[in-house]
Amino acid sequence: MSTDVVPNRWERRKARTRAALVRAAQSFIAAGKVNVPILELTQAADVGMGSFYNHFESKEDLFQAAVADALDGWGVALDTLTAGLDDPAHVFAQSFRLTGRLHRRHPDLSKVLLRNGVDLARSDTGLAPRARRDVEAAVRARRFAACDVDLAMVIVTGAMIHLGRLLHDQPDRDDGAATDHVAEDLLHMFGLPEGEARDICRRPLPDLDPPP
Amino acid sequence: MSTDVVPNRWERRKARTRAALVRAAQSFIAAGKVNVPILELTQAADVGMGSFYNHFESKEDLFQAAVADALDGWGVALDTLTAGLDDPAHVFAQSFRLTGRLHRRHPDLSKVLLRNGVDLARSDTGLAPRARRDVEAAVRARRFAACDVDLAMVIVTGAMIHLGRLLHDQPDRDDGAATDHVAEDLLHMFGLPEGEARDICRRPLPDLDPPP
């Protein structure tokens, strides 16, 4: 065993500890327990109390990291899946349709989003900046009508988060159909004719792997 | 002084105590301090700790009442102001345009809405059920295209709440113009031609008095 195995093993262990804390925080946020003591977080993560401060300055710091981690994981996956598409309206619609389906597929992370969505919508990581980029690309390509992108994002992010609430409240509702319907309404709002908006929102979707 | 003055005075005092607690709770929610001890709430309201339990079962109970009170006050005011309008699309647009302007006009109450909006959007009191009623009326009158009203409300309530976040984040932005723009986009989404949507959202607005 060479000597450089030791730091590597230590690094891997450090990363595992951080990931365990992030996952524990994600569970607590999903359960609405944002005022849980740090001790309870470290116990749930099965790590020592001292480890916490090697990674995070405060509980709020951990919670922010937990939410950002989940959303960025989804964002990277969405980017991969839209990489081959030519039409920016299609890119926007596909990412919206896949994101809407995550509410049921990952209910705990969805509830993180519901509890923090208004603030996350203005984060510079995660899903919101990617949706903004897609809207801007579609406007530049004249697929969407010229618009105030800040205001468009108000509608897009608000719809995505409130859609999650509806899908949790109405467990019998078809989440795919509901999401596609909202996406279609948004495309129409952005200036696409109704028929074309419907067509784009009925195209087959790629599989979205679970977030990392 | 007749004997029945005493219970009246007592009733009035009881109502004042409740109102003081509700106002105190609204301030704490606006400041994000939802985990404040009950003692601190009663001190802020300048009422005795014992009075609290004459009115509310728990702190959560008070917070819910505080939010519901604020939104219902706005709802009643909006209903009064739209009472004389014939066109249900105009009714929907006017209430949306006035509500959007409340974010800046009553920033504390707006922040209550931002913090609790996803849950409040499905309350059976306040603003959301009124917006739903207006959308349904417009669909019945064939002013709006037939739609799944649950999904339409996802977009309407989501947009209203995220608009508030944007208006607080961008203090230099004209809140009236921003709100009218979002309202116009929503009318267009509901099937109104762009020109007509714009015309409806540029009509003069009545004054909206402060909530009771």
How close, in Å, is residue B165 to chain A by CA atoms? 7
- Just give the CATH number of A1-56: 1.10.10
Residue B115: the pLDDT is: 74
- Of all residues in chain A, the percent with pLDDT exceeding 90 is 60
pLDDT of residue B5: 57
Q: Is A159 in Cβ contact with B150 (below 8 Å)? A: no
Give the separation between CA A62 and CA A57, rounded to whole angstroms: 8
- Tell me the C-alpha distance between B175 and B179, whole Å: 6
- A102 close to A208: Cβ distance less than 8 angstroms: yes
Average confidence (pLDDT) over B85-105: 95
What mean pLDDT, rounded, does chain B reach? 88
Distances (CA, A) of B20 to A201, B13, B16, B34: 51, 10, 6, 17
Contact A117 B121 (CB under 8 A): no
Q: Which residues of B touch A157 (CB under 8 A)?
A: 158, 162
**How confident is the model at residue A1, as a pLDDT?**
47
Report helix, strand or coil for B57.
coil
Q: Is-contact A29 A71, C-beta < 8 A? A: no
Alpha-carbon gap, residue A25 to A29, rounded angstroms: 6
Determine whether B110 is exposed, middle or buried from the number of CB atoms within 10 Å of its CB (0-12, 13-18, 19+): buried
> In sequence order, which residues have a C-beta less than 8 Å from that of residue B166 and are 6 or more positions away?
A122, A150, A151, A154, B173, B178
Q: Could you tell me how many helices (H) and strands (E) chain B has, helices first?
A: 10, 0
Q: How far apart are CA A69 and CA B57, in angstroms?
A: 38
pLDDT at B87: 96
pLDDT in tens, B46-64: 999 888 999 999 887 888 7
- Cα gap B115→B111, rounded to integer Å: 6
Q: Give the count of beta carbons closer than 10 Å to the beta carbon of residue A123.
A: 16
Does residue B100 come out as left (phi exceeding 0), alpha (psi in the -120 to 50 range) or beta?
Answer: alpha
In eight-state DSSP terms, residue A206 is -
Structure tokens at B116: 């609790």
DSSP, res A209: P
Choose among B190, B193, B210: nearest CA to B98: B210
Residue B212 has a pLDDT of: 44
Domain residue extents for chain A: 1-56, 67-200
With a threshold of 0.90, does the pTM exceed it? no
* Chain B residues touching A153 at Cβ < 8 A: 162
Return the pLDDT at B71: 85
Place of tokens 């699309």: B89
ipTM reported for the complex surpasses 0.85: no
**pLDDT beyond 70 at B4:** no
Residue with tokens 């001790």: A39
**Tens of pLDDT, residue by residue, chain A (212 residues):** 455 556 688 888 888 999 999 999 988 877 767 778 999 999 999 999 888 999 999 887 888 788 888 888 889 989 999 998 999 999 999 999 999 998 998 887 787 778 777 777 777 778 899 999 999 999 999 999 988 999 999 999 999 999 999 999 999 999 999 999 999 999 999 999 999 999 999 999 998 765 44
Which of B99, B162, B163 best tests the A interface by mutation, with the highest count of A CBs <10 A? B162
What separation in angstroms does the CA of A8 have from each of A11, A48, A152, B80? 5, 20, 46, 69
Q: Which residue of B has its CA nearest to A189?
A: B189
Residues of B with CB under 8 A from a CB of A: 35, 114-115, 117-119, 121-122, 147-148, 150-155, 157-163, 165-166, 169-170, 173, 178, 181-182, 185-186, 188-189
Contact B155 A162 (CB under 8 A): yes
Question: Which residues in A have their CB inside 8 Å of a CB on B?
Answer: 35, 114-115, 117-119, 121-122, 147-148, 150-155, 157-163, 165-166, 169-170, 173, 178, 181-182, 185-186, 188-189
Burial A182-197 (b: 16+ CB within 10 A, else e): bbbbbbbbbbbeeeeb
Regarding the domain delimited by A67-200, which CATH topology (the fold level of the hierarchy) does it fall under?
Tetracycline Repressor; domain 2 (1.10.357)
Largest CA distance in chain A: 65
Q: Which three-class secondary structure state does DSSP give residue B58? A: coil
Give the separation between CA A117 and CA B162, rounded to whole angstroms: 9
pLDDT at residue A118, rounded to an integer:
75
Res A155: pLDDT: 96
Quickly list H helices, B106-174: 107-120, 128-140, 149-169
Query: Around Cβ B156, how many Cβ atoms within 10 Å?
Result: 29
For residue B45, pLDDT over 80 is answered with yes
Residue A148 structure tokens: 């105030």
**pLDDT at residue B100, as a whole number:** 95
Does the beta-carbon distance from A150 to B165 stay under 8 Å? no
The neighbour count for residue A170, using CB atoms within 10 Å, is 12
Min Cα separation B177/chain A (Å): 11
Residue B90's pLDDT is 97
Minimal Cβ distance to B118: which of A148, A152, A161: A161
Q: 3-class secondary structure for A49-87?
A: HHHHHHHCCCHHHHHHHHHHHHHHHHHHHHHHHHCCCCC
Q: What is the mean pLDDT of residues B4-22?
A: 83
Residue type, B57: E
